Structures are given as structure tokens and as C-alpha cells.
Structure 1
Amino acid sequence: MTIEVRPATEFDDVATLVGPRKPTSNVCFCLSYRIGNKENVALRGQARADRVRELCHQDPPPGVIAYLDDEPVGWAALHPRRDTSFARNRLIPHVDDLDVWSLWCFRVRPGFRKQGISHALIEGAVAYARERGAPAIEGYPVDNGGEKVNLTMAYVGTRALFESAGFVKAAVTRSVLDGFPRVLMRLDLESSQKSSKKS
């Protein structure tokens, strides 16, 4: 089984993974942190789909997709923080002034869970951000201490998932999800690039 992670440039694949069940809905498509709140609330139905299609054609696209034998099976939202609502989020701090990328949402299709797809997504997202010159990448997962997280709320990932990919806790946040505190996990890509060049 080979999992390949690619930039999310195919709208139909994004729709398969994070599109709403009802075409007229004004939820999901993973837009809530990617665009401003006012626009997010206003976009419905086809207009919402069209906005996502537009994002898929932008550089960089709105995230990465995991494929299993060319079938889209997992999604991760990834983008420079400056162009997301995290740039203005009062609950999640800025660690420094680096032009970091944010990794904030994971979705694995039912039937494909517990096959390492979330791990592949985070590794693929890191590789893509590094390739694009990001100095660091951060996520905002729950610190659940091994306790079960409600599947609907697990989209932010867990601290353990980020730690398995080399991220370290860089800050506490004032954000809480499903009763668990969220932490800011960070991976410095510039120092990891330097160390890989030395070896």
C-alpha cells in the first residue's frame, strides 16, 4: 500500500474529501479558517464550491491530499498563516515574526482510517511547505493526553500526531476543543534543512 501526498489542485478530489453532503450548505469545504468569517458565512451552495475551485487554482493551493492508488483518501489544510484567520486569532498566539505556514485540519475518509493516512498527510504537508520555502510550520492540535477525542472534533489533530512528525510544543493557547486544551506545535524547517544538508 503506497500513500502519495500531492498539492490539492484538483477540485473534485477536494470536494470528495471535505465537500458538504448538501450542495446548498454553507459549511465545510474547510473554508472557516482559510477565508474571512464574513465571506465564509455568506458563501452557500455553488458559490461556495466555486470559491474552493478558485483556491485550488491559486499558488499555493488550499492544502494537500493523500492518494491511495490514485483515489483521494485524506485531506490536510495547509497555507501561510498570514493569509488565514489564524493571522488575527486572539486565542492562538504568534510565537515570532517568521512567515510560518499553518496546518490545521485533517480528514480521512471512512473506510480508510487507521492505515497511517494522517501520518502520511502531516509528513507530506511538511515536505510541501519545506519545498515552498516555508521557514517553519505549525499546527494547533488538542492536547488530549491519550484520551478519546470526539471524531467530529478530531479534525485539528492531536499533540501525539504532531510529535510523531517531529513537532514540538512552542506555546499554550487559550483555545479549547471538545474539553481539551489546544497547543501550538511547531517544526522549524530552516534548521531541519541545515541539519539534513550537513548529514
Structure 2
Amino acid sequence: MVAAAFNVVPLTPEHWPALEELFGPQGPCYGCWCNHYRMPPKLRKPLLGEGARRLFEQRVHDGPAPGVLAFAGEVAVGWLQVGPRAHVPEWNNPRRASTPLPDAPAEDERNWAASCFFVRKGFRGKGVTGALLDGAIGFARRSGAQLLEAAPMANETKRSSEGLYVGPESVFRRAGFVEVACHKPGRPLLRLVL
């Protein structure tokens, strides 16, 4: 399958059932439901599972769209959390690979982050990640973002599919992202100026 085979749209309330089906009853990443970077562990961990699902559903309902969803026909096959850095405060933590630089402060809502991918089993390695990133770039531009950053796994880093929730470096490089810092070995901070 090639990226053109996927339709990527912002996650709005009408797409919630498709996302819920994609994530399954337990939710991705041990029941996180994409709250990992949105709140500190002491608040997030007690919510894992159903509490996290409800919180994320409310976020989608209230808007703005917290990311993009990829479809193959009518079936959701991938998700990318993307939006202003200010919406993912834990992603901006000074101990992370994704620590913001002074020229792109997290408080500026025009500075965006592509923080978490999820791709349906059976569709991994088929271009979904690239399609999601392309869709996210368009979504960020239409939403007035001035730049988009990510802290993916370096290509030479040994990784598991679980560890790839941040995405592989090669996908970002192909989309034109350039390295602006490296706070942690194997996790470059990449940026695309929009």
C-alpha cells in the first residue's frame, strides 16, 4: 500500500467511533489514550483505561482536533497526536528529548508538536506513518502553525514497535524536517518550518 491509499483527516467528534475501534477496548499504550504528554504521571496513571478514554473523548468533543486519523476506505488505520506544544506540557519537560529551544517556546501556540503515532497491526510498514505525517503537516499549516517539531527514534537506534510511538527519524527526514538539537542520544529534535 502507498501513502496515497490513505485518507487523513483531523480527529473531530464524528470520527470518534472510528478512533475508538482503532484503539480497541483497552486503548493504546497500556490504556494511555494519548494522555501521556498531556499531564504529569501522578495525575495520568490513576486514569489509565476507562478514565483516560473518557478524558480523551471529552477533549475530542470540546475541540480543537488533537490530531489526525488515517483511513483505508472506511477503516481507521492510524493516528498521530499533533497540535500546539502548549497542549502537551509533558512533551516540553526539560528532561525530555523534545525539550523546546528558546527560539520556539512551548507557550507560543504557533509552535506545534507531532508527539504520538499509533498504527493498526497489519498496516505497519505500509506507509501509514508517512501519510499521517503528511496529513499532520497540512493540518498544522491550515491551523496557523509556524513550525512543527518531533523527537523521533534515530534510524540506527534498535527499537521495538512499542517504542516507535514517537515515529522513525527517516519518515520525518523524508518530509523535510531538519535536526535542530539532540538532547538525548538516539532522539534528535527535528523541525519543519511551515
The higher radius of gyration belongs to 1
Whether the 8 Å contact between 1:11 and 1:52 is mirrored in structure 2 is no
Runs of 5+ unmatched residues, structure 2: none
Contact 2:180–2:190 (CA under 8 A) maintained in structure 1: yes
Distance verdict in 2 for CA 1:22–1:87, change over 3 Å: closer
Residue-pair matches, total = 182
Q: 78, 95, 118: which one pairs with 2:129?
A: 118
In structure 1, the residue matched to 2:142 is 131
> 1:196: which partner in 2?
none
| Aligned structure 1 segments of 4 or more residues deviating by more than 4 angstroms | none
Deviates further, 121-130 or 105-114: 105-114
1:126, distance to aligned residue in structure 2 (A): 0.7
Mapping for residues 175-190 of structure 1, pairs under 5 Å: 181-189=186-194
Contact 2:92 2:99 in 1 (8 A): no
Residue from 169, 182, 185 that aligns with 1:172: 182
Provide the residue aligned with 1:8 in structure 2: 11
- Alignment partner of 1:151 is 2:154: no
Q: Whole-Å Cα distance in 2 between the matches of residues 12 and 81 of structure 1?
A: 26
Residue number in structure 2 paired with 1:161 = 171
Of stretches 6-15 and 156-165 in structure 1, the one that deviates more from structure 2 is 6-15
Aligned partner of residue 62 in structure 2, secondary structure: coil
CA RMSD after TM alignment: 2.3
Scaled by the length of structure 1, the TM-score of the pair is: 0.82
Distance 1:53 1:185, change over 3 A: same
Q: Report the alpha carbon displacement of residue 165 of structure 1 after superposing the two structures with TM.
A: 0.7
Return the offset for 1:119. Answer: 0.6
**What secondary structure does 1:57 align onto?**
helix
1:20–1:29 CA contact under 8 A, matched in 2: no
**Counterpart position of 1:94:** 100
TM value normalised by structure 2: 0.84
Contact 2:11–2:67, Cα closer than 8 Å, also in 1: yes
